[in-house]
């Protein structure tokens, strides 16, 4: 028997009389079952063993014969599937490498800038940290699945009950926090563009710390339920095989319905749609004011009383504006994609190739945003380039001096050793200070 992907809802949401599958096993695949990577992981690690268990217990009759071949389930070859495989295998590691290499120096640099340039540099450093974590978790896991046919995230949540709860909470929390930090940056951009001479008292480091603390507290309460609603369970397939599942363990029908029906819409609203709308509104106000109202000019002499690097402030506000526009474009596509996913989740209206094409485009846009946003700082900020150049030159000189000192030390040791071995060689070592 061969089960096609359109039948996956029968397995995940069977009749109440049948054995129920947990609604969540792999957090990243909870509502994206039509992704090829998630499909193969679900089929290999979850669906097939559960079907076998259901058949063994006599709850459901399935003709599991040799026709149930995971590798041919379904045959995805050529066209968009080849493109998807190529992207996952070769482009994703490039995103990981560039994102890590370019982001790490900027985090330290922008944190320093938050004291002497602009308080929004603090939020820029935070968003770089969060996006680097998201890049490693999601892009890294997709690449790992494509190469090794195994979900690293699933292995992590299956380690222990604590890792299941903590990992699920942290990933959900970071997914919520990252777009809302960009919303705060868009507010600072609005202030810097429309009221430039008020930056020194409206955009302070103290207000930035208080704003971030407020967002963290609110999002912590929103995601705190993972610590008592999720857990790790073990299912014995046979005496040699045990499946460990991280899923919803709260025994309440209302909670199950909420998780399956309501939670996806809450995630969509607070992680995609609302951040996109708020950012777009502020960008629209900035553009409208720029076109219709006379611009307020910077009082440079006045601002120099409050900022040590006024020129760097000009560069950073342009960078933040470009970053907000990029964020709005990416999240517009992601919001449309999520609407389609929620609308056609349980139907066959969209062709599978269309779904895959939308998924590939969505991931390319999102991962490129997470990885390549750091390039903007190197391109548009002369101060960033100068600091990075100083670090590189300083590191090179330090390594050169260390290498030169090492060579001199080795030469001295060789001379000492030679003089000790051959006292009559005529080599004399000076002991003068």
At 80-120, the pLDDT tens digits run 778 888 899 999 999 999 999 999 999 998 888 888 777 78
Distance CA 246, CA 162 (A): 10
pLDDT tens column, 250-277:
766 677 677 777 888 888 999 999 999 9
Tell me what pLDDT residue 135 has.
Answer: 95
* Of 149 and 102, more confident: 102
Tell me what pLDDT residue 84 has.
Answer: 85
Confidence of residue 69 (pLDDT cuts 50, 70, 90): very low
Q: Is residue 29 part of a domain?
A: yes
Tell me what pLDDT residue 352 has.
Answer: 67
The pLDDT of residue 12 is above 50: no
pLDDT tens column, 304-324:
666 656 777 778 888 999 999
Domain boundary among 320, 343, 374: 374
Q: Is residue 430 part of a domain?
A: no
The pLDDT of residue 3 is above 60: no
- The full 3-state SS of the chain, as one line of letters, equals CCCCHHHHHHHHCCCCCCCCCCCCCCHHHCCCCCCHHHHHHHHHHHHHHHHHHHHHHCCCCCCCCCCCCHHHCCCCCCCHHHHHHHHHHHHHHHHHHHHHHHHHHHHHHHHHHHHHCCCHHHHHHHHHHHHHHHHHHHHHHHHHHHHHCCCHHHHHHCCCHHHHHHHHHHHHHHHHHHHHHHHHHHHHHHHHHHCHHHHHHHCCHHHHHHHHHHHHHHHHHHHCCHHHHEEEEEEECCCCCEEEEEEECCCCHHHHHHHHHHHHHHHHHHHHHHHHHHHHHHHHHHHHHHHHCCCCCCCHHHHCCCCCCHHHHHHHHHHHHHHHHHHHHHHHHHHHHHHHHHHCCCCCCCCHHHHHHHHHHHHHHHHHHHHHCHHHHHHHCHHHHHHHHHHHHHHHHHHHHHHHHHHHHHHHHHHHHHHHHCCCCCCCCCCCC
Q: Can you give the residue range of the structural domain that contains 295?
A: 80-374
Quick one: 93 and 67 in the same domain?
Answer: no
Query: Percentage of residues in the chain with pLDDT exceeding 70?
Result: 67
Quick one: 223 and 251 in the same domain?
Answer: yes
Quick one: 98 and 196 in the same domain?
Answer: yes
Task: Provide mean pLDDT across the span 193-222.
Answer: 86
Quick one: 60 and 144 in the same domain?
Answer: no
Question: Structurally, how many domains does the chain consist of?
Answer: 2
Quick one: 344 and 298 in the same domain?
Answer: yes
Quick one: 16 and 116 in the same domain?
Answer: no
Tell me what pLDDT residue 301 has.
Answer: 61
Q: Is residue 45 part of a domain?
A: yes
Quick one: 62 and 101 in the same domain?
Answer: no
Q: Is residue 238 part of a domain?
A: yes
Domain boundary among 34, 54, 72: 72
The pLDDT of residue 65 is above 50: no
Quick one: 49 and 102 in the same domain?
Answer: no
Q: Is residue 327 part of a domain?
A: yes
Distance CA 247, CA 226 (A): 10
Quick one: 251 and 362 in the same domain?
Answer: yes
User: Whole-prediction pTM value?
Assistant: 0.74
Radius of gyration, CA atoms only, the chain: 28
Quick one: 131 and 242 in the same domain?
Answer: yes
Tell me what pLDDT residue 269 has.
Answer: 92
Quick one: 54 and 93 in the same domain?
Answer: no
Tell me what pLDDT residue 405 has.
Answer: 65
Quick one: 19 and 136 in the same domain?
Answer: no
The pLDDT of residue 431 is above 70: no
Task: Provide mean pLDDT across the span 215-242.
Answer: 81
Domain boundary among 374, 401, 416: 374
Tell me what pLDDT residue 43 has.
Answer: 53
Q: Is residue 431 part of a domain?
A: no
The pLDDT of residue 33 is above 50: no
Angle between helices 92-116 and 382-421 (to 10 degrees): 100
Which residues are CB-neighbours of 256 under 8 A, at least 6 positions away?
23, 248, 250
């Amino acid at each position: 028997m061969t089960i096609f992907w359109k039948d996956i809802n029968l397995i995940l949401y069977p009749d109440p009389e049948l054995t129920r599958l947990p609604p969540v096993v792999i957090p990243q695949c909870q509502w994206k079952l039509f992704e090829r990577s998630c499909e193969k992981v679900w089929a290999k690690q979850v669906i097939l063993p559960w079907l076998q268990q259901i058949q063994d217990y006599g709850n459901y009759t399935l003709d599991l014969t040799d026709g149930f071949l995971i590798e041919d389930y379904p045959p995805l070859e050529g066209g968009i599937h080849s493109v998807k495989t190529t992207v996952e295998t070769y482009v994703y590691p490039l995103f990981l490498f560039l994102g890590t290499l370019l982001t790490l120096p900027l985090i330290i640099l922008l944190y320093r800038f938050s004291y002497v340039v602009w308080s929004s540099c603090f939020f820029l450093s935070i968003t770089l940290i969060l996006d680097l974590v998201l890049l490693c978790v999601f892009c890294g896991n997709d690449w790992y699945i494509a190469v090794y046919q195994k979900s690293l995230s699933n292995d992590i949540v299956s380690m222990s009950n604590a890792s299941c709860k903590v990992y699920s909470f942290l990933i959900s929390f970071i997914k919520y926090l990252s777009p809302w930090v960009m919303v705060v940056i868009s507010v600072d951009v609005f202030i810097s563009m429309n009221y430039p001479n008020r930056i020194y008292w409206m955009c302070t480091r103290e207000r930035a710390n208080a704003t971030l603390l407020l967002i963290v507290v609110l999002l912590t309460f929103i995601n705190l339920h993972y610590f008592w609603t999720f857990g790790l369970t073990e299912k014995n397939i046979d005496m040699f095989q045990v499946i460990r599942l991280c899923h919803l363990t709260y025994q309440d029908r209302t909670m199950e319905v909420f998780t399956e029906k309501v939670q996806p819409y809450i995630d969509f609203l607070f992680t995609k749609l609302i951040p996109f709308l708020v950012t777009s509104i502020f960008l629209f106000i900035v553009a409208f004011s720029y076109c219709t109202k006379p611009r307020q000019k910077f009082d440079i002499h006045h601002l120099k009383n409050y900022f040590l690097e006024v020129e760097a402030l000009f560069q950073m506000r342009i960078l933040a504006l470009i970053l907000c526009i990029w964020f709005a474009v990416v999240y517009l596509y992601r919001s449309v994609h999520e609407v389609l996913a929620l609308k056609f989740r349980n139907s066959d209206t969209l062709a599978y190739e269309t779904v895959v094409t939308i998924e590939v485009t969505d991931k390319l846009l999102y991962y490129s945003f997470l990885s390549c946003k750091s390039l903007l700082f190197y391109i548009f900020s002369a101060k960033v380039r100068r600091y990075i150049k100083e670090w590189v030159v300083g590191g090179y000189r330090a390594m050169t001096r260390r290498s030169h000192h090492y060579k001199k030390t080795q030469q001295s040791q060789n001379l000492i050793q030679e003089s000790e071995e051959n006292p009559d060689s005529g080599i004399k070592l000076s002991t003068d200070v």
